[in-house]
Amino acid sequence: MSIPELAWRAGGAAARRATDSSLARSLGIGEVIYLVAPTGYPNYGDELIARTWLRYLARVRPRTTVVLDSHSPGQASLLLRDAHPKVIFTNTLWQLTEFAANAPASDDEHKPDPTRPWEWVARTAADPGRAPRLSEGIEILNRASTIHLLGGGYVNSVWPHHVSLVSAIAAVARQTGAAAVASGQGLIPRLDEPGWTALLDAARDFTVFDVRDTASADALAGAPGVGSSASGDDAWLSLHRPVSELYRRIGTRSPGRGVVLCLQSDLTDQFRGPASTGVEALTDFVRSTLDAWDVPGSDVTVVEGIPGHDYEVPHRLGSRLDGAAVIPFRELWRHGLPAGKANTWITTRFHPHLMAAAAGDSGIAIVPMPVYYSTKHRSLLDAGSAWTLVEGGDTIPDRPAAGGFSPTARRRAIDAKLALAQRVYPDTRLRSLRRG
């Protein structure tokens, strides 16, 4: 018998013993909820979504062991360490996904096929023996009662290898009977084949497959066996019971007349202006807009959504921002978004649009990358945001003054996400009280 065959058989036995593993015993595990998310980069929106779900679970499942599987578990553990009393961090599925995506071509059936990496990831996630180095993590994954792919726009043609995460969750759920859940997914631009078919095949094994925008819902419409819903972005759940650090209470520049900038330099190559493209065109557009609105640098606040990506445009603006306030990511994360002060936003990033508009602020949402960002920002306009959408740098818009979401639209969006959360994770404390 070959070594791979021995590993396969040993893995099958290990999977059967997962519920009685030493790891499970050492953690005192009863129920396990397993979350999968792109956290730890850090990215304001991704971290906000993960923190929101962890805090929700802290209310309704405080004694449950919650595992958060992300590509950067060390950084995620620092950012999210206080969000749930029994959270642990790993990168098991993300390691398998990245390994398979970068594997060289091989005729060995036990190694990933780089043209269909999700197949190897799915088989390995369901069998600890296939990846002995990650067997502890795979065991606890197979111990989970719910495996939840948290929301965001990371399973699409921009990052096509992430379909392996979906396939892996489906494979484990089929084997163990766990509830497979996806919430607030942004699937546009749609995966190319055969990745799209792989996603649909996996989605059929999900108890809930929820998306955040109409385009993603339309892409799934009519797919046999896929029961999808569209409850909006997961960040809406953070507004159900907002915490103190969600919105910044001090240090907001020029309330009522100030401008807040949150401008990325990544994924901007396709942004076009009258004389330039990319970051240069975005810089020119913002400078011209501030000039047209007659906004001095001292009335500007610069917000960093992703460290290392959101200072390039402000740096290029140079002396045009003399006197501006700067809120680095660490301050944003600790003290909240500077929103709700009736200032005007200029942002390329999606979650600052959502959260600032939810606080009632006016703004313009710039599309730095067609299709991907236009779908994201348009989903908020469809939900009721009164912001102006800018898809190129040729025309300078008037300064908007229509506000963000109305109280009715805000409430509707929050309620839709809360209903999904309650469907996925019923409050077991309430059930216990009723029985008592």
Percent of the chain whose predicted confidence (pLDDT) is above 90? 84
Place 165 in a pLDDT band, splitting at 50, 70 and 90: very high
Mean pLDDT of the chain: 91
CB atoms within 10 A of CB 431: 10
Average pLDDT value for residue range 168-172: 98
Residue 105 CB-density burial (10 A; 0-12 exposed, 13-18 middle, 19+ buried) = exposed
pLDDT of residue 243: 84
Q: Could you give the percent of the chain with pLDDT greater than 70?
A: 91
Q: Dump pLDDT digits (tens) for 302-346.
A: 999 999 899 999 999 999 999 999 999 999 999 999 999 999 999
Provide mean pLDDT across the span 97-111. Answer: 90
pLDDT interval class at 12 (50, 70, 90):
very low
Tens digits of residue pLDDT in 207-220: 999 999 999 999 99
pLDDT at 297: 97
Kindly indicate the confidence band of residue 9, based on its pLDDT and cuts at 50, 70 and 90: very low
Non-local (6+) Cβ contacts of 249 within 8 A are 335, 336
Region 185-211: mean pLDDT is 98
pLDDT digits (tens, 9 = 90+) for 257-276: 899 999 999 999 999 999 99
pTM of the prediction?
A: 0.92
Does the pLDDT at position 26 exceed 60? no
Q: How confident is the model at residue 16 (pLDDT cuts 50, 70, 90)?
A: very low
- Mean pLDDT over 89-102 rounds to 97
Q: Which of 218, 210, 242 is nearest to 421 (CA)?
A: 210
- Name the pLDDT band for 222 (thresholds 50, 70, 90): confident
Burial of 177 (0-12, 13-18, 19+ CB in 10 A): exposed
**Alpha-carbon distances, residue 187 vs 176, 190, 260, 266, 373 (angstroms):** 27, 6, 29, 19, 12
Q: How much is the pLDDT for 349? A: 98
Has residue 4 got a pLDDT over 80?
no
Domains in the chain: ranges and CATH: 3-241+414-435 (3.40.50.11720), 244-405 (3.40.50)
- Report the SS3 class of residue 262: strand
pLDDT for 436 equals: 42
Structure confidence at residue 431 (pLDDT): 53
SS3 32: strand
Looking at residue 169, what is its pLDDT? 98
Residue 8 has pLDDT above 60, yes or no: no
